[in-house]
Chains A and B, each alone.
Chain A
């Protein structure tokens, strides 16, 4: 029975893909039908996904990653000398992802119906297309987690990249009066191009792996002897192939999971509809990078004490810190969450860099739930404020409000305040999500974040596995703890600015609570964000039981977050002080005017954070401007000086040559021959026509004469014998 269900794995990405095709080809004119098609597609994937999760959990001992997955081969492509085997697999890591991805997707699909204003007069004109896109995205993510090789992984990876681009730019016709503000179209392009850098590195890593091992299937690459060969043969100097490939593949994760230095695209991706931000840019797609590192983890630890783990740990920890500082000075409710996402992904990456595999995957799962919850909550808030704005601006004077409609920013927390009374369900679930995010006992974030910090601390005090040095442990622990303080602060700031105090605008004062299809997913996700952590407590760590055996497969011990009262105490203290500071600044005396008190207190530092450490400006000056200048130079070279004139000259010469050939060869020879054939045929026809009189009697005469002639010929040929005939006839 188990076998039977495992062999159905290929159906999981197929359900949403079928929904996508159905909506695009047939049902797109009917909004309700399209909604249901998308829901049923993801619903079936969810049911099968959870089935596989529970079954893989039961078979955990025989299915532990990396080599133990149950293979579901699809087909193989013959290449020059080998076969490229493509297929899916189920192991416990896949099972965990199948627990999280389709469920979160389902919640967000349900939420989207309300968010895209189904059944109202301001329903999104591209409503059905939205459901088609998110279905395609679900296909990409589900396909990614069940892939057993780099080829299909890359295909689904790029499908998600495409969907991300399409959905960030979903409102591509939107423009703002402020020319500096990025439009959805530009944001989509930025996301696509930035992640492309990482994807190129990842592709290079894949190709190098293929050139070295001759296979792209995980279970074959992660064999002990293959890894040993990779670790002991050198690309150049003292750099083993394993290190090089691991770092290149990590490049892909940096792009997709928005890690420093490719983190710049994620905040701008918030220009997309909020369900998309929740689905793609918080819960699922951005965690694909973390998943990739977790999946290819054996490659990362193939070399003892290699630089690859140090790179991973540094980038993760630094990103976690960097993003949490920037989040402090953002006023856009979604951008705060975007930086928070980058920061939390940094936690996971840093944990992987320390070898804390289980903690990273645990945090990935819990984070997906509470961050999806927070994003959907923020979407609900924005939606409410937008409708409140609509309400206030349409009743007093019809039509006049249209002019400055665009100027009002429903995302700006300075325009909110006091929303807890207006939107109680949204508010309370948002607060639950915030408690989970900041790691307050006993919500999910406490357990998963604490496990990462405990692992970092243990590396510092006892030394880590895989040759991770103690110093890295301390470095990571310090940065992550600092990030935890800032996380609690900016989350508290967000809560107090949005929900506490008094409404600072008319729009906030009239914001209605969202429809049930939006609030129910919030409630369900909040429940998960509350209880999920209890499955990964240090005393009864179900996650370790599920995926911790990877180390045993590889003959090594893996970080197992033991409960450390010191670390737990410090992180709780830090989180509480973050909340306290936020309360002191924003909660004690609620803001009445939209001016952030931090601005005066921090001065230039605030501007530095507000402008995101000037990364966009830096990239603009260092990469984009030179690239544009180079392109312009090439254009001048091409268009004005060298290439185009040459091309034009060649073209003119060709034209002259053909004119000449036409006069000298084509007209007399070729045309002459063709016309000659025609004329001969016409003349022949004229001649033969005379015999065709149309009189049947003529034809019959010809036939009779012919018979007579034949008879004569017969008689002449049988001259000597026909007297015999005559004798016979006369009897």
Chain B
């Protein structure tokens, strides 16, 4: 028996929801970044699953290329994000996003 597409999608949806929950509920900036990473990877799973099971892109490298691009962007985002977090920490001695509110009126 072949693993059906829906399993992949369910896993991806679950991963996305976990990531979203993390982003919404955590106060630690690093944890939020980790949530974002989870959401991005859920998207990757979706992309590859649809590429593998769909009719349109079969025989091309489109899905893999797309996933690699997302991974690259995620890596860049993580680097910039962590750098920002470190910078904020150095300035404010905290990584709690609710305390980073200098721009608020």
- The docked-state distance in angstroms from the alpha carbon of A728 to that of B2 is 14
CB-contacts of A382-433 with B (<8 A):
none
Task: Assess whether B55 is interfacial by the CB under 8 Å rule.
Answer: no
Interface bits A686-715 vs B (CB < 8 Å: 1, else 0) = 000000001111001100100000000000
- The docked-state distance in angstroms from the alpha carbon of A729 to that of B10 is 9
Q: What are the nearest 3 A-B pairs in CB distance?
A: A731-B4, A729-B6, A694-B104
Task: Assess whether B48 is interfacial by the CB under 8 Å rule.
Answer: no
* Beta-carbon contact of A704 and B6 below 8 Å: no
Task: Assess whether A730 is interfacial by the CB under 8 Å rule.
Answer: yes
**Residues of B contacting A695 in the complex (Cβ-Cβ under 8 angstroms):** 97-98
The verdict on A730 contacting B97 (CB below 8 Å), with A697-B23, A704-B24 known, is no
**Residues of B contacting A696 in the complex (Cβ-Cβ under 8 angstroms):** 97
CB-contacts of B1-54 with A (<8 A):
2, 4-6, 9, 20, 23-24, 32
- The docked-state distance in angstroms from the alpha carbon of A731 to that of B2 is 10
* Beta-carbon contact of B24 and A729 below 8 Å: no
| A334 CB to nearest B CB, Å | 83
| A703 CB to nearest B CB, Å | 10
* Beta-carbon contact of A697 and B24 below 8 Å: yes
Interface bits B83-101 vs A (CB < 8 Å: 1, else 0) = 0000000000000011001
**Residues of A contacting B101 in the complex (Cβ-Cβ under 8 angstroms):** 694
- The docked-state distance in angstroms from the alpha carbon of A67 to that of B99 is 96
CB-contacts of B59-105 with A (<8 A):
97-98, 101, 103-104
**Residues of B contacting A729 in the complex (Cβ-Cβ under 8 angstroms):** 4-6, 9
| B92 CB to nearest A CB, Å | 15
* Beta-carbon contact of A700 and B4 below 8 Å: no
- The docked-state distance in angstroms from the alpha carbon of A704 to that of B24 is 9
The verdict on A700 contacting B103 (CB below 8 Å), with A729-B6, A729-B9 known, is no
* Beta-carbon contact of B23 and A700 below 8 Å: yes
The residue on A at minimum CB distance from B101 is A694
User: By the criterion of a CB under 8 Å from any partner CB, how many residues of chain A are at the interface?
Assistant: 11
- The docked-state distance in angstroms from the alpha carbon of A695 to that of B6 is 35
| B38 CB to nearest A CB, Å | 14
| B28 CB to nearest A CB, Å | 12
**Residues of A contacting B104 in the complex (Cβ-Cβ under 8 angstroms):** 694
- The docked-state distance in angstroms from the alpha carbon of A730 to that of B101 is 47
**Residues of B contacting A701 in the complex (Cβ-Cβ under 8 angstroms):** 24
| A706 CB to nearest B CB, Å | 13
**Residues of B contacting A694 in the complex (Cβ-Cβ under 8 angstroms):** 101, 103-104
The verdict on A730 contacting B24 (CB below 8 Å), with A694-B104, A695-B98, A696-B97 known, is no
- The docked-state distance in angstroms from the alpha carbon of A730 to that of B10 is 10
Q: Which A residues are closer than 8 A to B by beta carbons? A: 694-697, 700-701, 704, 728-731
| B61 CB to nearest A CB, Å | 25
The verdict on A700 contacting B97 (CB below 8 Å), with A729-B5, A731-B5 known, is no
- The docked-state distance in angstroms from the alpha carbon of A120 to that of B62 is 93
The residue on A at minimum CB distance from B1 is A731
* Beta-carbon contact of A730 and B4 below 8 Å: yes
- The docked-state distance in angstroms from the alpha carbon of A675 to that of B66 is 58
* Beta-carbon contact of A704 and B103 below 8 Å: no
- The docked-state distance in angstroms from the alpha carbon of A696 to that of B98 is 9
* Beta-carbon contact of B5 and A704 below 8 Å: no
The residue on A at minimum CB distance from B103 is A694
| A477 CB to nearest B CB, Å | 103
A-B contact pairs, 21 of them (CB 8 A): A694-B103, A695-B97, A695-B98, A696-B97, A697-B23, A697-B24, A697-B97, A700-B24, A704-B20, A704-B24, A728-B6, A729-B4, A729-B5, A729-B6, A729-B9, A730-B4, A730-B6, A731-B2, A731-B4, A731-B5, A731-B6
- The docked-state distance in angstroms from the alpha carbon of A159 to that of B23 is 84
**Residues of B contacting A728 in the complex (Cβ-Cβ under 8 angstroms):** 6
Interface size grouping (class) on chain B: 10 to 19
- The docked-state distance in angstroms from the alpha carbon of A731 to that of B97 is 43
Given contacts A697-B97, A729-B4, 4 further A-B contacts (CB under 8 A): A697-B24, A697-B32, A728-B6, A730-B4
The residue on A at minimum CB distance from B6 is A729
| A368 CB to nearest B CB, Å | 84
**Residues of B contacting A731 in the complex (Cβ-Cβ under 8 angstroms):** 2, 4-6
- The docked-state distance in angstroms from the alpha carbon of A731 to that of B3 is 9
The residue on A at minimum CB distance from B23 is A700
The residue on A at minimum CB distance from B2 is A731
- The docked-state distance in angstroms from the alpha carbon of A697 to that of B98 is 9
| B17 CB to nearest A CB, Å | 9
The residue on B at minimum CB distance from A698 is B24
The residue on A at minimum CB distance from B25 is A697
- The docked-state distance in angstroms from the alpha carbon of A704 to that of B104 is 23
| B54 CB to nearest A CB, Å | 12
**Residues of B contacting A730 in the complex (Cβ-Cβ under 8 angstroms):** 4, 6
**Residues of B contacting A697 in the complex (Cβ-Cβ under 8 angstroms):** 23-24, 32, 97
| A102 CB to nearest B CB, Å | 76
The residue on A at minimum CB distance from B10 is A729
**Residues of A contacting B4 in the complex (Cβ-Cβ under 8 angstroms):** 729-731
**Residues of A contacting B6 in the complex (Cβ-Cβ under 8 angstroms):** 728-731
| A65 CB to nearest B CB, Å | 85
| A718 CB to nearest B CB, Å | 17
The residue on B at minimum CB distance from A707 is B20
**Residues of A contacting B2 in the complex (Cβ-Cβ under 8 angstroms):** 731
- The docked-state distance in angstroms from the alpha carbon of A730 to that of B9 is 10
- The docked-state distance in angstroms from the alpha carbon of A729 to that of B4 is 7
The residue on A at minimum CB distance from B4 is A731
The residue on A at minimum CB distance from B32 is A697
**Residues of A contacting B24 in the complex (Cβ-Cβ under 8 angstroms):** 697, 700-701, 704
- The docked-state distance in angstroms from the alpha carbon of A648 to that of B32 is 79
- The docked-state distance in angstroms from the alpha carbon of A696 to that of B101 is 11
A700, A728, A730, A731, most chain B CB atoms within 10 A: A731
| A201 CB to nearest B CB, Å | 78
**Residues of A contacting B98 in the complex (Cβ-Cβ under 8 angstroms):** 695
The residue on A at minimum CB distance from B8 is A729
- The docked-state distance in angstroms from the alpha carbon of A700 to that of B39 is 13
**Residues of B contacting A704 in the complex (Cβ-Cβ under 8 angstroms):** 20, 24
The residue on A at minimum CB distance from B104 is A694
The residue on B at minimum CB distance from A725 is B6
- The docked-state distance in angstroms from the alpha carbon of A729 to that of B2 is 13
| B3 CB to nearest A CB, Å | 9
| A701 CB to nearest B CB, Å | 5
The residue on B at minimum CB distance from A696 is B97
| A707 CB to nearest B CB, Å | 10
- The docked-state distance in angstroms from the alpha carbon of A730 to that of B8 is 11
| A239 CB to nearest B CB, Å | 89
- The docked-state distance in angstroms from the alpha carbon of A696 to that of B103 is 13
**Residues of A contacting B97 in the complex (Cβ-Cβ under 8 angstroms):** 695-697
| B35 CB to nearest A CB, Å | 10
| A699 CB to nearest B CB, Å | 10
- The docked-state distance in angstroms from the alpha carbon of A111 to that of B51 is 99
- The docked-state distance in angstroms from the alpha carbon of A694 to that of B6 is 38
| A165 CB to nearest B CB, Å | 68
**Residues of A contacting B103 in the complex (Cβ-Cβ under 8 angstroms):** 694
- The docked-state distance in angstroms from the alpha carbon of A469 to that of B46 is 120
- The docked-state distance in angstroms from the alpha carbon of A731 to that of B4 is 6
- The docked-state distance in angstroms from the alpha carbon of A730 to that of B53 is 13
- The docked-state distance in angstroms from the alpha carbon of A701 to that of B21 is 9
The residue on A at minimum CB distance from B9 is A729
B2, B6, B32, most chain A CB atoms within 10 A: B6
- The docked-state distance in angstroms from the alpha carbon of A728 to that of B9 is 12
| A137 CB to nearest B CB, Å | 70
| A100 CB to nearest B CB, Å | 83
